[in-house]
Structure 1
Amino acid sequence: MRIANITIDCAADAGALAGFYADLLDRQVDEGASPYFATVGRGAGEVPVLMFIQVPDRTPGKNSVHLDLHDEDVAGAVQRAIARGAKHVGDFDEYGAVWTTLADPEGNLFDIGRPTN
Structure 2
Amino acid sequence: MGIKLANITFDCENAAELAGFYAQLLELSVDKDANEHFATVGTEAGHSPTLMFLKVPDKNAGKNVVHLDLVSDDLPAQIDRAKSLGAKHIGDFDEYGITWSTLADPEGNLFDVAQG
Let me know the Cα RMSD of the aligned residues. Answer: 0.9
For normalisation by structure 1, the TM-score amounts to 0.94
| Cα separation, 1, equivalents of 2:79 and 2:4 | 29
Cα deviation for residue 2 of structure 1 reads 2.6
**Distance in 2 between residues matched to 1:44 and 1:54, nearest whole Å:** 23
SS across alignment from 1:65: coil
Instruction: Give the letter aligned to residue 104 of structure 1.
Output: D
Structure 1 residue 94 displacement after superposition: 1.2
Number of the residue aligned with 1:9: 11
Within 5 A, what are the aligned runs for 1:15-30?
15-30=16-31
In 2, the alpha carbon distance for the partners of 1:60 and 1:96 equals 31
Partner Cα distance (1:2, 1:113) in 2: 25
Aligned length: 114
How high is the sequence identity, in percent, across the aligned residues? 58
Per the normalisation by structure 2, the TM-score is 0.94
Moved over 6 A (4+): none
Aligned match of 1:84: 85
- 2:53 is matched with 52
What are the ranges of 5 or more consecutive residues in structure 2 without an aligned counterpart? none
